[in-house]
Amino acid sequence: MARTASLSGFPEWLPQERLVELHVLDTLRKTFELHGFSSIETRAVETVGQLLRKGEIDKEVYGLSRLQDDEGEAAKSDKADPNALALHFDLTVPFARYVVENAGYLAFPFRRYQIQKVWRGERPQEGRAREFTQADIDVVGDGELPFRYDVEIALVIAEALSALPIPDFRLRINNRKLAEGFYRGIGLTDTAGVLRSIDKLEKIGAERVAELLKSELGATDEQAGLALKLASIRTEDTSFVQQVRALGVTDELLEEGLNELEQVIQAAVQRAPGKVVADLSIARGLDYYTGTVVETVLVGHEQLGSICSGGRYDALASKGNRKFPGVGLSIGVTRLVSRILSQELATASRSVPTAVLVALNTDDSWSAAQDIAAQLRGRGIATEVAAKAEKFGKQIKFADRRGIPFVWFTDDDGKHQVKDIRTGEQVDADPAEWTPSEEDLYVRVTTA
C-alpha cells in the first residue's frame, strides 16, 4: 500500500509503486498511439483570464506569484487580474488555447493525447489529490466535427481501460442535448441550472434535488418529478429511447440528443459489450459541454467517483469566426493508481528494472565487469555492477535487497556463471548469448 505523503494532497510513490504507475501510463500511451493520437504537452501555467474565459468554474485554482518583486518586497497577488498566472486545473482548457494558437500548423481533424500533471485545491482524500496526473484524448475539427468521433472516443477509452490492471468498469454516457431539450420541453428554461442540480443527484439524493429545482429554479412538483424520472433512466442497450419517449415530452433538441446517444450505445453494444451504459443522470458540471457527456466508475468501487470523464464541446475553442469543435475524455491516472495500490489490485514483479548484478571478484575487476554489463545492456538486459568487491554472500544479499533476480560471476580464468538467487540455481553463461526468461527480462505488473 502507498505510504502517506508528507505534504497532504501531493502523492509520491515508492519505486515499486512507481513501476505500477509507469505500466498504467505506458499502456495508455500505447493504446492511444495505436489509434493514431499524437502526443503533445502544454505549459503548466495559463493566465487567469484564459482559465476563466468561459465564466466562473467550480475548481479551486492555484494562482502563482513571485516571492519577491523587483524591489525585493513580497509580491501581492491579485485574483482579479486576468493576466495573472495560475496552474492549469485540467488539460482541456490549455488544449483549446493550444489549438487556437497553432491552428495554422495542425492537420484537422487533429487527434491528440496528453499525459500531464494538473493542480486543484481539493480537500485531499483517497482519489482526490491537489497534484495529480491526467491522461486525455481529444479529436478537434475545424468548423465542424462529425459525430462519429463521439462514438470512437468512447470505444478507444473502453479499450484502454480494459488493458489496465483494474476491476471491471462502466462508461456512463448521456447527452446534454437530450437533457436540455427535455427540460425545455417541460417548461424549465434555465437548462444549465437544472443540469447543475441534477449533477448533485448522487451526492444529495432525489428529494433534495427536487427541493433545489423548486426553490432555486421555480419548478413545479410535476416538472421536478419529470426531471427526476428522466435522470432515473439507465439501460445497457438502446431501450432508453422508448423510455424517454414514454414520458411524453417532445422537443427538437431532445430528438437530436436521443439520436446521438443511441448511436454511441449501439456501437458500444457491438464493440465493447458490457462496458457502456446509457445513464441519463450524468450531467457534468462544466458548462462547455454541448453534447455527449461521460463519467466512468469502477464496479465495486463506485465510492471512488469517476475515473474517466469528458464529452463533446462545440464552442470551447474559437478564433474570430473560426470554431474548433471537439470531443475528448480524461482519465484520472493518479486516482486509478491510488486505488490499485491501496487495494493491492496489482503489483510489480520487482522493485527495480535491473535484472542482473555483475559481482566483483576484486576491486581491480570493476572495469572488466563494466564490459560484461555493456554486453548485456546491448541486448536489452538491464544490468548493474557491484560498487565494491565484498564477499559474494554480501553481494548476493545486496542484489536480494534491491530485488535483482540474477547475479553474474566471472572467475580468474574468464569463465562466466549466472545465479538465480531466488532458486539458488547457478549455470554457465556467455555474456554475448545468455538472456533471462521473458518473465524476468522486464518488470511485470500482475493483477492480484
Three-state helix/strand/coil letters over 314-351: CCCCEECCEECCEEEEEEEHHHHHHHHHHCCCEEECCC
Predicted confidence at residue 2, as pLDDT, reads 53
Quick one: CATH architecture of 356-447?
Answer: 3-Layer(aba) Sandwich (3.40)
Predicted confidence at residue 76, as pLDDT, reads 52
Q: Is 96 exposed, middle or buried (0-12, 13-18, 19+ CB in 10 A)?
A: buried
Could you read off the pLDDT of 187-205 as tens digits, one per residue? 999 998 999 899 899 889 9
Looking at residues 444-448, what average pLDDT do you find?
Answer: 88
- Least confident stretch, 200-204, 315-319, 388-392: 315-319
Identity of the residue numbered 103: A
Backbone φ and ψ of 14, nearest 5°: -75, 160
Residue 73 pLDDT exceeds 80: no
The pLDDT mean for the chain works out to: 92
Strand, coil or helix: what is 298?
Answer: strand
Confidence of residue 59 (pLDDT cuts 50, 70, 90): low
> What percentage of the chain carries pLDDT values higher than 70?
94
**Chain centroid, CA 186 distance in Å:** 37
Higher-confidence residue of 241 and 202: namely 241
Strand, coil or helix: what is 119?
Answer: strand
Domain parsing of the chain, residue ranges: 356-447
Could you read off the pLDDT of 109-128 as tens digits, one per residue? 999 999 999 999 888 888 78
Backbone φ and ψ of 264, nearest 5°: -65, -50
Half-sphere exposure of 218 (CA within 13 A, CB side): 6
Angle at 327 between CA 321 and CA 331, to 5 degrees: 140
Peptide bond preceding 109 in cis form (omega within 30 of 0): yes
Whether the CB-CB separation of 294 and 329 falls below 8 Å is answered with yes
Could you read off the pLDDT of 216-237 as tens digits, one per residue? 999 999 999 999 999 999 999 9
C-alpha–C-alpha distance, residues 192 and 189, integer Å = 9
Confidence of residue 285 (pLDDT cuts 50, 70, 90): low
Q: What DSSP designation does 280 have? A: T
Predicted confidence at residue 69, as pLDDT, reads 62
Higher-confidence residue of 2 and 311: namely 311
pTM of the predicted model over 0.85: yes
Strand, coil or helix: what is 308?
Answer: strand
Half-sphere exposure of 330 (CA within 13 A, CB side): 23
**Count of C-beta atoms within a 10 Å radius of residue 197:** 26
Confidence of residue 74 (pLDDT cuts 50, 70, 90): very low
Residue 378 in grid coordinates: 546491448
User: Dihedral through CA 243, CA 249, CA 250, CA 252, nearest 10?
Assistant: -80
Whether the CB-CB separation of 289 and 176 falls below 8 Å is answered with yes
C-alpha–C-alpha distance, residues 169 and 301, integer Å = 9
Looking at residues 368-394, what average pLDDT do you find?
Answer: 97
- Least confident stretch, 11-15, 79-83, 348-352: 79-83
The DSSP line for 141-192 is -SS---THHHHHHHHHHHHHHHTSSS--EEEEEEEHHHHHHHHHHTT---HH
